[in-house]
Structure 1
Amino acid sequence: MQRVIILLSAVVASALAKCPNLPALEEFDSTQYTGLWYEIARYPLIGELGETCAQANYTLQGDGSIRLENRGKKPDGSMDSIMGTATAKDPAHPAELTLVFDEGFRGSYNVIRTDYTQSALVYSCGSVVGFRLEYAWILARSPQLEQSVVEAYKKLLADAGSNSEKLSMTPQDCGSYF
């Protein structure tokens, strides 16, 4: 009986750890992607708990990397800011980026969809001790985004096996921070 429980636990843990198949764009123009983006929705992220008005400004660097600065308003009203650099892991997959923050920690940043002028869906997934860690962001060039676009991105996430119900809307009532 104990072996059965251990086997079932291992199966459940490996299922939890498997990331959905959400491939990044095959073609990606980092020049068009740069500029100001407003966070419309996100999966829970410890560093952004309770944060509103999250925005990102991306700048193309001479070496082809993208310099980013994220700003947001903490629950106590103070400003939160973090900077980093995103670089394509492989030039053959330009929308699969490795993000290294100035504080030293790193992550992946995969652009799943974008039209460059209105919206983008960014996704990252990894496995830690048998558990899947997912991050998703819906971004827009303005503080609001049509609900139909949000729903289309949620469906894309859900159809791939991600729990899009985890998305929480990010209030954008502060104006631009950049």
Structure 2
Amino acid sequence: MKNPSLTLSLPLLMALVACSSQADYRKIDTPPATVSEVDLNRYAGRWYEIARYPNSFQKNCEAVTAEYSLREDGNINVTNTCHAGEVRSATAIARIVEDTGNAQLKVKFAPKWVPFAWGDYWILHLEEDYSAALVGSPDGKYLWILSRTPKLDDKIYQSITKRAKELGYATTPLKMTEHPN
């Protein structure tokens, strides 16, 4: 008989190894600046991925969206959806890092019993009207450009990538995400 904990643990271990081998596209040691404050009620809702750093867990993903909803306990529900031949969804919980103006979160897609699987989700740029955002990890392994619509005005995209460069992130590795018309 198979050991059920081994069956559950092996895929998780493989995912953690894959994540730890992710390329680092930021060569600056100091943490990047985040936005000063985020109104989570305005941030909640659907976001469309416009561009991202390549990563193993989004392989072949297009038409990527992220849904954020506030929970009564002060945390945030996260549902990421992508189309990769079929629709794939992943759910997570995000918690706010104290004293960061809600601009730094810890996100966990792993099961509750895995205590160490929290990843950094920092809001690095946010348009004043909450129409577009730059989010990523301070270590430079992850970076996303998000928009409230499937298409982002090129002027805003250029402004966001300029901000990413100012924060020390490489922008040439960004992969544009396709969204159906």
Taking structure 1 as the reference length, the TM-score comes to 0.77
The partner residue of 1:173 within 171, 174, 180 is 180
The partner residue of 1:106 within 108, 118, 129 is 118
CA apart distance, 1:80: 1.4
Further displaced range: 36-45 or 19-28: 19-28
Structure 1, gaps ≥5 residues long: 1-15, 127-132
State the match for 2:164 in structure 1: 157
1:19–1:125 Cα contact (<8 Å) kept? no
CA apart distance, 1:21: 4.2
The partner residue of 2:142 within 101, 119, 135 is 135
Q: SS state of the match for residue 143, structure 1?
A: coil
- Equivalence map 1:10-25=2 (5 Å): 18-19=28-29, 21-25=31-35
Q: 1: CA distance between counterparts of 2:167 and 2:106?
A: 22
Q: 2: CA distance between counterparts of 1:111 and 1:138?
A: 10
- Equivalence map 1:67-82=2 (5 Å): 67-74=77-84, 77-82=85-90
Structure 2, gaps ≥5 residues long: 1-25
Q: 2: CA distance between counterparts of 1:59 and 1:155?
A: 29
Q: Encode CA deviations 1:137-168: one digit per residue, 9 max, x unaligned.
A: 11011110001111111111112222111111
* Identity level (%): 28
2:38–2:103 Cα contact (<8 Å) kept? yes
The alignment covers a number of residue pairs equal to: 151
**Letter matched to residue 65 of structure 2:** Q
1:20–1:160 Cα contact (<8 Å) kept? no
State the match for 2:62 in structure 1: 52
Q: SS state of the match for residue 166, structure 1?
A: coil
The partner residue of 1:26 within 36, 47, 67 is 36
Q: Which structure has the larger Rg? A: 1
For the pair 1:122 / 2:135, whether they are aligned, the reply is yes
Q: SS state of the match for residue 90, structure 1?
A: coil
State the match for 1:39 in structure 2: 49
- Structure with the higher strand share, 1 or 2: 1
1:20–1:162 Cα contact (<8 Å) kept? no
Displaced runs of 4+ in structure 1, greater than 2 A? 16-22, 102-106
Q: 1: CA distance between counterparts of 2:30 and 2:175?
A: 19
Q: 1: CA distance between counterparts of 2:159 and 2:30?
A: 17
Taking structure 2 as the reference length, the TM-score comes to 0.76
Q: SS state of the match for residue 42, structure 2?
A: helix
